[in-house]
Every structure is written in C-alpha cells, then in structure tokens.
Amino acid sequence: MSNAIKETHFNFPGQIGFYKGKVRDVYIFDKELVVVASDRISAFDVVLPRPIPFKGQVLNQIAAGFLKATSDIVPNWVTATPDPSVTIGKRCEPFKVEMVIRGYLAGHAAREYKAGKRVLCGVAMPEGLLENDPFPEPIITPTTKASEGHDEDISREDILAKGIVSEADYLILEKYTRALFQRGQEMAQAKGLILVDTKYEFGKFGEDILLIDEIHTPDSSRYFYAEGYAENQKNGIPQKQLSKEFVRQWLIANGFQGKEGQSVPEMSDEIVESISDRYIELFEQITGEKFVKADVKNIESRIEKAIMAHLGQ
C-alpha cells in the first residue's frame, strides 16, 4: 500500500498550540493556522483504524478549488496551500454554529420527516414530500458546534435568544450561506451533479467575517448524479450518491454503526485501496480535472519542508 498520513507530530518555530481533529492536524500560531489534511477517515463519529491513501490530498484540493471559486461572494481564511495536503490561513475566532443548508429532503432531514416531524430547526417542511424531493426553496438548518460529542440541531430563534451569534452577524451568515449554496449548485450542475445539502463554517478575523474550514467536499456535502435523478424519483429508486456514504454502507453491511458494543470491522488492503480509488473518482467528478497523485515516498518530510519554507525557515 502507498504511504498515507495517519498523524503528524511536527514542532514549528513560533507554534503556540496543536489540535487534532477527526481528520485534520491543526498547528496554531499567533495569527495563523497550519492545517494538515491527514488521510484519516471517520464515519458514525468514529475514526477508522486505517488511513486512506490520498484522501487528505483529495479533500484539501477540492476545498482549495471551491474556496477560490467563491472568494468573490465571501472572503475566506486561506492565505496559502504550500503542499497538496496543507492549507495555511488566518486564525479566526469560529462562530459556535455550523450553517447547514438543504436543497432536498435527504439524510437527517429525511429521517426526521419519516418520523413524522414537519419542523426542522424551527423551519417548516411542506407535507407530501418523498425522500430526495427538492424543497420549494433551500432551508437553513443550523447545528451547534460541539467541542465533544455530537452536534445538535438548533433554531435561528434559539441561536439569537441564547446570544450564540448576534443578530447582525447571523443575518450576514444566512446571506453568505444562501449565496454560497447557489454558487455550489451551479458549479455542480455544470459537472452533471446535484448539490443536495452541505454545511459552512464561519469565523471572525478582527471585525471581518470569513468563511473557514473546507467547503463542497464529499465529506461535508451530499451530491446526487443529475442523470437519472427524475426517473429514480418517479420510480421510488434510491438516488446515486457522490459522497462518503459508500463507506458508511460498507460499515453497516459489516455490522458497525458506531453503537455501543460494536467493533469496527477489519479493513483489508483491498478495502482501503477501493476507498482510495473512490475518493479519487469523487475528485475527478466534482472538479472535472485529472487527479495527480503527490509523491508519497517520504510524505511527512515533504509536508514539513513545505510548511517550513512557507514560514521562512
């Protein structure tokens, strides 16, 4: 198997902190963040035991492309991408909500609807929808940004009442969210895809609101293939998805859904390689570009050198 980034343990001059997320290793500086997109993969809020070669590069490069393509709508945190698996940017103070926007009744929204709920995060959902039907217009269904455990649904009213975000800032977040989603849907349509739902995270750098984290990647978004969508809906057939849903399905088929007492199934070389191939396929479908594999002979050294060069060391 190719070399892959399971975790990094760098120590850079001027570094004042480190944070290890499910997928990203974040090196904290006074005004900057250096983010290494590892090849770790998570599902059901669990990090799986084996990294997936090139997954970090795939997500980092998709996000970089979309952040650049939406910078006319909203400024973002990125200042440099010195390596295919690294993004460097402004150290923002994140808002403690994720702005989830849904164009279709899918995923969590569909499960809630099936359970009889017609209001999600304070937003009414019309009667008579089938799973994967479009909403009359996209709905914003925010979640809290949990430092530990699961993010929780929250309404706009609760966000404002609890003072999690000021009303002035929240109105800007909503405006940005709708504009970004519209651009994302247009870009997806041009590639024969439907952007179904996604999430955006924002932060403040001084007084400026910036778009942070990744956007429109298969880890943060759900895509359907446009071809066959109408026919599948008419016949009640599940939609062909372009997301990491295939990983969840493999885990479910092998008896794992992240529940207590369940063990993560063993991931053979073949499984790891097939997931890697699927991520590369996702990259090429979403971007319309050929994926160029970075040199992984000495992956950690490559990344460290690129970061040190950026820091002027």
Q: DSSP for 204-229? A: EETTEEEEES--S-TTTEEEEESTTH
Distance of CA 116 to the CA centre of its chain: 28
pLDDT per residue as tens digits for the range 11-58: 999 999 999 998 999 999 999 999 999 999 988 888 999 999 999 999
How far, in Å, CA of 221 to CA of 201, rounded?
13
Mean pLDDT of 207-223: 94
pLDDT of residue 147: 61
Prediction pTM value: 0.91
Question: Tokens representing 276?
Answer: 């890697």
Report the pLDDT value the prediction gives residue 120, as an integer from 0 to 100.
Answer: 98
Would you state the pLDDT for residue 241? 87
* Alpha helices per DSSP H over the chain: 55-69, 107-114, 156-161, 167-190, 229-235, 245-253, 269-287, 299-310
Residue with tokens 């343990």: 9
CA–CA separation, 305 vs 310, rounded Å? 9
> For residue 109, which of 51, 196, 205 has the smallest C-alpha distance?
196
pLDDT at 148 over 80: no
pLDDT > 70 fraction of the chain, expressed in percent and rounded: 98
Rounded Cα distance, 80 and 87, in Å = 6
In this predicted structure, what is the pLDDT of residue 146?
A: 67
CA atoms within 13 A on the CB side of 255: 6
Asked if residues 32 and 90 have their Cβ atoms less than 8 Å apart, the reply is yes
Q: In the numeric block, which tokens belong to residue 299? A: 């992956």
> Where residue 190 falls among pLDDT bands split at 50, 70, 90?
very high
Across the chain, which distance is largest between two alpha carbons, in Å? Answer: 61
Average pLDDT over residues 304-312: 95
Q: Is the pLDDT of residue 136 over 70?
A: yes
φ/ψ region of 207 (left if φ > 0, alpha if ψ in -120 to 50, else beta) reads alpha
- Name the DSSP class of 261: T
Range 242-264 average pLDDT: 89
State the chain's mean pLDDT as an integer.
Answer: 94
Confidence grade of residue 1 (pLDDT, cut at 50, 70, 90): very low
- pLDDT confidence bin for 246, thresholds 50/70/90: confident
Q: Amino acid identity of 157?
A: E
- ∠212-198-66 over CA atoms, to 5°? 55
φ/ψ of 152, rounded to 5, equals -115, 145
Identify which of 261, 289, 260, 265 has the alpha carbon closest to the alpha carbon of residue 275.
265
Pair of tokens at residue 133: 């039907």
98-130 pLDDT, tens digit per residue, is: 999 999 999 899 999 999 999 999 999 999 999
Read off the pLDDT of residues 260-295 as tens digits, 9 standing for 90 and up. Answer: 899 999 999 999 999 999 999 999 999 999 999 999
The per-residue pLDDT for range 62-108, each reduced to its tens digit, is 999 999 999 999 999 999 999 999 999 999 999 999 999 999 999 89
Q: What is the pLDDT of residue 258?
A: 86
Q: What is the mean pLDDT of residues 222-239?
A: 96
